[in-house]
Structure 1
Amino acid sequence: MNLSRSSAARPQHVVSESGVLRWLSANGSHPPARIVDADDRMPASEAYRLVSRGTGLLWHGDFHNARQLLSAVSRRLHRNRRTGSSAAESFRLHRQQQARRARALALVLVRLDPGHALNLRGAPQVRTACQEAYGPADTPYVVPLRELLGVIGAGEWRRKGVPVPALGARIHPHYGVFAPTRSEYVDLVAESPMPPAELAFDIGTGTGVLAAVLARRGVERVVATDISARAVRCAEDNVGRLGLAGRIEPLQADLFPPGRAELVVCNPPWLPAKPHSMLDHAVYDPGSRMLLEFLAGVPEHLQPGGEAWLILSDLAERLGLRTRADLLTAISGSGLRVVGRSEARPSHPKAEDPTDPLHAARAAEVTTLWRLAPVGDDTTRT
């Protein structure tokens, strides 16, 4: 899955009651105009009042209590959730509420000292995880606690890996790179009938999981592209771990590499909406840019007799954000035709959660692997 165009942290400076400190966020959070000190004596109601007004809270107390405060503020922000009269309206309100919640929760802050030292009572050791996410730190900086918790969690995932049954191995996601925790799109690539292919392109490779599946299925060489430098480094790491370094070439590029291949695979972001964070770029694609540019460019990057595989959820259709007719028109308008398709129903916690505002759409969601070929290419396919 394709990720953010820019994955670099954005250093700035903020003024707090403790002085001027460097602001650092790899997730695109903006520094607040005003910051006050906070510790274990601050009640959740006061913290909620302050962050709701855009005031940052620089925490000086116990680390566990900071997490508790963040959870309490989050619960208060959830109380006023609304749903719309249609699926599309519910989605619009859901995204607005998610954005407001993310902005507010990013205002609970912690300071890290040089070497990524988190000097709070009860704090875990975060140096390795922060080094992986942010790089070296020679000066103190301030970061949202919520982002730091994500960095810590990503560090654990990177260390332990995510099991991928289709590979019989683990994939190790890096911070800011979408993890292959949903198996249906990987299984579709692992099981769909495949044309003979010496060379394949994996467009928007992310962790490199689909490139690895293609190599394990017998493709001699895979060029795996991603616009995100973080994703390319992550794919290189996983390719090395899997012993596929000689067969998979991760490459930073916006969509296609040079040349033509017998198989071109893409699992683009599924929802045509604005991303609010770095990870959101793996799910939200404003105006379906990546989807439409992939379809438009495929004919120029396929060998005769080759196929393009588009792996796409129909969640956008069920939310009223795109119609099936829109998708088929985009396919035909790009000079492509459908030569086959495989489907899978995803299994994930949100599909089983009736309190989720998008539950009905998620519960009915279907993921499809569309096998596409250029119009006029009548090569026999199975």
Structure 2
Amino acid sequence: MTSSSPFPLIVWSDASGEHTARWRSEAGVPPPRRVVIADDRISADAAYRQACEGTALLWRGDFQNARQLLQAMSRRIDRKPRKQSASPLDAFNAHRQAQAQRARTLGMLLITLEADYSIALRRAPDVKAACEEAYGQADVDAGESASSVVSLRELLGLIGAHEWRKKGVEIAALGARIHPHYGVFSPVRGEYVELVARAPLPAGTLAFDIGAGTGVLAAVLARRGVERVIATDTDARALACARENIARLGLDGQVELLEADLFPPGRAPLIVCNPPWLPARPASLIERAVYDPESRMLRGFLDGLAAHLEPGGQGWLILSDLAEHLGLRSRDALLAMIDAAGLRVIAKDDVRPVHPKATDPSDPLYRARAAELTSLWRLGMK
């Protein structure tokens, strides 16, 4: 059911009649068709069974009990035995399918947000700041018609992102923190930042950073002494996030943020790009930083690089080889893309990832993660 509002509507009934509210889903999930009221009396088994059957539970009990119920439902998902996969690619596909099913099931526990983003439940936290960062300013003038319904799982994600934004991520190469916004990939994989921090600069006059994200790589280049850095992105959240981080670091005079699809106008002696590493379709906004359908951004960067490099300049491609270990893209295919773009490999710097999943044998993608290398490919024109 929809209206002239930009929001889809969710519909449910209780003893007082039929109700509607705005439906919020950052992942673009449609509103559930079957909605029942649930409270502290429901058991975890009953809630899990209904969620698996596609029935959403609109919570009317204690907020902290809802969190505990969500955890209990999650444990029931984790108890399911995992089938052994014949190949890394089969393991990846099964893993993504399981992730999608998990998100669907856990997304069935719903919370109502009032027009001002408050929650009218016992022991509910103040989530107004977290919601405003993700959804924008509350539409308090609209009254009850601006109330909305969101999955508790998404709401907890908003709260976590708000805490990350406040705390920030320590970046050794900057000696400072980068503060990621909701929906902008956090630079927790610090090894790729270190590669940019230590690779020899071909010039110190100008650099393009393609896909600015939080602004971390633009900031590292500026701190390394590059006189002017132009960082581009197509996502408004990323540009706002990068702008805030660059200002906090006092680098406004060196770094320019520009909304552009890949390259800004002109040429530069150094062009840096850290595209999504896996050629697959993202299932949510945040996954766009991880999954690059048909390697579109990677191909776009390589195909346009020669036209934007100054003579003798270098393109720095930061890329994990996880896709190769998963069977999603071969090394020969990557080298063929580089060659077809009129480019040559000058050098390649590698580093092993240090994230916990690389050493966790229980992770379904452990074999691929354990073999993974992150590389900075230094490319030049033929």
TM more than 0.5? yes
The 5 Å alignment of 1:248-327 reads 248-327=255-334
Match of 1:40 in 2: 40
- Deviation of residue 80 (structure 1)? 4.1
Would the aligned equivalents of 2:26 and 2:284 in 1 still touch at CA under 8 Å? no
CA RMSD of aligned residues (A): 1.3
- Deviation of residue 29 (structure 1)? 2.5
Q: Measure the CA separation in 2 of the matches of 1:124 and 1:29.
A: 25
Q: Measure the CA separation in 1 of the matches of 2:9 and 2:377.
A: 48
Q: Measure the CA separation in 1 of the matches of 2:11 and 2:154.
A: 20
Q: Measure the CA separation in 1 of the matches of 2:51 and 2:268.
A: 52
Match of 2:375 in 1: 368
- Deviation of residue 297 (structure 1)? 0.5
**What secondary structure sits across from 1:17 in the alignment?**
strand
The 5 Å alignment of 1:149-164 reads 149-164=156-171
Q: Measure the CA separation in 1 of the matches of 2:241 and 2:159.
A: 17
The TM-score normalised by the length of structure 2 is 0.94
Out of 8, 12, 31, which is 2:8 matched to?
A: 12
Question: How many residues get paired?
Answer: 367
Q: Measure the CA separation in 2 of the matches of 1:245 and 1:50.
A: 52
The 5 Å alignment of 1:1-382 reads 11-18=7-14, 19-78=19-78, 79-138=80-139, 139-375=146-382
Match of 1:4 in 2: none
**What secondary structure sits across from 2:296 in the alignment?**
helix
Consecutive unaligned residues of structure 2, counting only runs of 5 or more, are: 140-145
Would the aligned equivalents of 2:27 and 2:283 in 1 still touch at CA under 8 Å? no
Q: Measure the CA separation in 1 of the matches of 2:243 and 2:83.
A: 43
- Change in CA separation of 1:74 and 1:94 when aligned onto 2, cut-off 3 Å: same
The TM-score normalised by the length of structure 1 is 0.94
- Deviation of residue 115 (structure 1)? 1.2
Q: Which amino acid aligns with 1:169?
A: A
Q: Measure the CA separation in 1 of the matches of 2:124 and 2:172.
A: 35
- Deviation of residue 10 (structure 1)? 6.5
Match of 2:142 in 1: none
**What secondary structure sits across from 1:299 in the alignment?**
helix
Q: Measure the CA separation in 1 of the matches of 2:250 and 2:213.
A: 18
Would the aligned equivalents of 1:10 and 1:26 in 2 still touch at CA under 8 Å? no
Q: Measure the CA separation in 1 of the matches of 2:292 and 2:380.
A: 24
Which runs of structure 1 show a deviation greater than 6 angstroms over 4 or more consecutive aligned residues?
none
- Deviation of residue 100 (structure 1)? 1.2
- Deviation of residue 27 (structure 1)? 2.9
Q: Which amino acid aligns with 1:199?
A: L
- Deviation of residue 62 (structure 1)? 1.2
State the identity %. 60
Would the aligned equivalents of 1:171 and 1:207 in 2 still touch at CA under 8 Å? yes
- Deviation of residue 197 (structure 1)? 3.1
Would the aligned equivalents of 1:268 and 1:282 in 2 still touch at CA under 8 Å? yes
Would the aligned equivalents of 2:233 and 2:239 in 1 still touch at CA under 8 Å? yes
- Deviation of residue 246 (structure 1)? 1.5
Q: Measure the CA separation in 1 of the matches of 2:279 and 2:170.
A: 29
Deviates more, 1:97-106 or 1:200-209: 97-106
Deviations 1:120-170 (A, max 9, x none): 211111111111110122211001111111110111111111110110000
**What secondary structure sits across from 2:100 in the alignment?**
helix
Match of 2:143 in 1: none
Q: Which amino acid aligns with 2:44?
A: A
- Deviation of residue 47 (structure 1)? 1.0
Deviations 1:323-352 (A, max 9, x none): 111111110110000001111001011112
Q: Measure the CA separation in 2 of the matches of 1:145 and 1:102.
A: 11
- Deviation of residue 118 (structure 1)? 1.4
Deviates more, 1:24-33 or 1:256-265: 24-33
Deviations 1:77-108 (A, max 9, x none): 23143331000111111111111111121111
